[in-house]
Structures are given as C-alpha cells and as structure tokens.
Amino acid sequence: MVLQILNRSRVYYVFIGYLFSTDAIGAMEKYAKELVHSVMERAEAVYQHSGVKMNVEKKVGTGDAKDVICHTVEKLRADTLVMGSHGYGFFKRTLLGSVSDHCAKNVNCPVVIVKHPKQNRV
C-alpha cells in the first residue's frame, strides 16, 4: 500500500510502514537512472566489439520485470530475446520466481538465457 501525505512544502510517501520524503525518492530515482545508463553502456560496448552487425534497440521500462520484458518483446516483434540468469538455487527461484523462466514460456520468439560462469569455491 502506498499513501501520499502532503505537509506544506513536502510530499511524503508511506510504503509498507516506511516514510520517504520526496528528496529520498528523487535520490533513489537518480541512482536508478545512473545504474541503467551504466548497464546500457556496458552492453553497447560488448555488442560493438563482437564484430557482428545487428540492430540493437535500448528500451527502459518500469514495473514487474517479467511483464515489462514480455510486453516489450511483443511490441517490438523481436526475433530473439537474450537475457541473463541470476543463477538462483531451487529455493530462491521457488520463492522469488524466475523472470527468465517466465519469459521463456510466454514470449513468441526464441529465448537465449545466459548463465553466470560458476565461480571456484574454496
């Protein structure tokens, strides 16, 4: 539940028992935009250095990741969806759900899921 509270010059949002001022929300939104920009730059560098000619479109969405991704794939009529996997174990995947699994079952194009390489455990 989200409540909006107006108090003269400030707006506060109450979200599941926490109180955030507009300053805090603005700082979180700025951080999220910077993070998205950083990830997009890294992805762009990878495909540019691959030597393969491809059409890449960058889209940023908000909402539940699995819904946003599936909707965007449908809207763009994508040929292929390539996505990463967190590599969660059975219990985390059961509790949190798997975005890549959901997308693989619900989009109308081939899906490539890239896993993180296993790290050497000592």
**Between 82 and 121, residue with greater pLDDT:** 82
DSSP classification of residue 39: H
**Would you place residue 1 in the very low, low, confident or very high pLDDT band (cuts 50, 70, 90)?**
very low
Specify the CATH architecture of the domain 63-121: 3-Layer(aba) Sandwich (3.40)
* Size of the chain, expressed as the number of residues it contains: 122
- pTM attached to this predicted model: 0.61
Q: Is 46 helix (H, G, I), strand (E, B) or coil?
A: helix
**Between 46 and 54, residue with greater pLDDT:** 46
Q: From CA 47, how far away is CA 58, in angstroms rounded? A: 12
Q: From CA 96, how far away is CA 102, in angstroms rounded? A: 12
Answer whether residue 107 shows pLDDT above 60: yes
Helix (H) or strand (E) holding 18: strand 18-21
Q: In the chain, where does the domain assigned CATH 3.40.50.620 lie?
A: 63-121
Answer whether residue 108 shows pLDDT above 90: yes
**Would you place residue 105 in the very low, low, confident or very high pLDDT band (cuts 50, 70, 90)?**
very high
Q: From CA 12, how far away is CA 24, in angstroms rounded? A: 10
29: left (phi over 0), alpha (psi -120 to 50) or beta: alpha
Does residue 113 contact residue 77 with C-beta atoms inside 8 Å?
no
Mean pLDDT of 4-8: 48
Over residues 52-102, the pLDDT tens digits come to 777 777 777 888 889 999 999 999 888 889 888 777 777 776 666 788 889
